[in-house]
Structure 1
């Protein structure tokens, strides 16, 4: 069985979990307090970051590289298009969410509200929280524009781009930081993706000291 060293609300870990579940790869989840820099964990990944996946006798790090490894070694069901243009668009959007969205939104909201408390780094910076709350509106509007033109974020098929976006939004939804009333098309997209069997373990996550809103695990909001 595969083993994933993870943190429940990490969007990067959640993206890998979604990929594994969609491919029906059984995995043992091991919560990792990466901020404690445990020597055993640093041997698994000297970068000191989660996720780390043990699969096929290998220790794999970096969520993007992990997801592409899974895709290349377990191509069915496909989470990447076959054509070069389609694959480019998926990679562009994965980078958008894991880089731009993460820096402008996730790090300002989730990390301030949750990670600081969990890791003992103090209280949230109110300016960062305000900046994140403002920035997420722009990103939701961009998603709405994409979904007005496409069935899924990157095209007509569900891809890793959808998992990257859903990983960030689900983590933020756990702390009620997503205004689902801003866009009906984005809300419909999220309801569709979170109703998939691959989302079940994520919706069952519980983080001590933080209670999700009632709609978090409600497939119909």
Structure 2
């Protein structure tokens, strides 16, 4: 069955990257519309009144469906195209994948992105002035805390949620990849996390992520290096 998909997203948005990785891993073809979400364009607000990316628009059998917000989109993709399964093959791994999705989209986003990405990216986009050094320091401290947690999980598991790669890995990698775009991830101090990220970074679904660039926001030199 032919399905027309269009993903409205912002390239440096961790939430959008999760969806892009899932679509890519399942080899689902989609068109892209890059959104400057901070501008509040009426066309985009008509799709998602919250004004938040990502938004997936699908046309199946001439029926148009608009799916908003990351978790809703990921669950929809998994229901409509269940192979390869990205929520685990057994109940325990599915539960753990969902827990870690929540961890990164709530706890990591609040304790790391809320400082580092706000200061380094959002302030630039919104023209809010120079980064606050105290906020950057707090974000980096939070990042080390989360990397230590990830590193500990990966010392006893093949992937974050267990034996198989899952949406939990894509959630973590999506968040960390944007931090890594700005060169703030101390990979050398967390070898298990670095090895895990190298495996993900080498997958075909990750190539578009590594090609992302945004005017005025240049990536770190190692950002697209597979052997960093």
- TM-score band by shorter chain is over 0.9
- Cα distance in 1 for residues equivalent to 2:197 and 2:44: 33
1:120 and 1:40 map into 2 onto residues whose CA distance is 23
Q: Partner of 1:211: helix, strand, or coil?
A: coil
2:217 is paired with a residue of what secondary structure?
A: coil
Aligned equivalent of 1:212 = 219
Structure 1 residue 176: deviation in Å? 0.3
The answer to whether residue 126 in structure 2 is matched with residue 119 in structure 1 is yes
What is the correspondence of 1:130-209 to structure 2 with a 5 Å cutoff? 130-209=137-216
Counterparts of 2:150 and 2:124 in 1: how far apart (Å)? 30
**Which blocks of at least 5 consecutive residues in structure 1 are unaligned?**
none
1:81 to 83, 88, 91: 88
Structure 2 unaligned residues grouped into runs of 5+: none
Provide the rounded CA distance (Å) in 1 between the counterparts of 2:216 and 2:38.
Answer: 18
Cα deviation, residue 119, structure 1: 2.1
Cα offset, 1:120, TM superposition: 2.3
State the Cα deviation string for residues 121-171 of structure 1 (Å, max 9, x = none). 333222221110111111000001100110000001000000000000100
The CA distance in 1 between the partners of 2:23 and 2:65, in whole Å, is 15
SS state of the match for residue 55, structure 1? strand
CA shift, 1:83, in A, is 2.4
| Residues 34-56 of structure 1, C-alpha deviations (whole Å, 9 max, x = no match) | 11111111110011110011124
Q: Which residue of 1 aligns with 2:14?
A: 11
TM-score (norm 2): 0.94
How many pairs does the alignment contain? 221
The CA distance in 2 between the partners of 1:204 and 1:37, in whole Å, is: 26
| Cα RMSD, aligned residues only | 1.0
Give, in whole Å, the separation in 2 of the partners of 1:133 and 1:81: 31
Distance 1:180 1:81 in 2: 27
TM-score, structure 1 length as denominator?
0.97
3-state SS in 2 of match to 1:54: strand
- Give the CA deviation at 1:2: 1.2
Q: Secondary structure at the match of 1:59?
A: strand
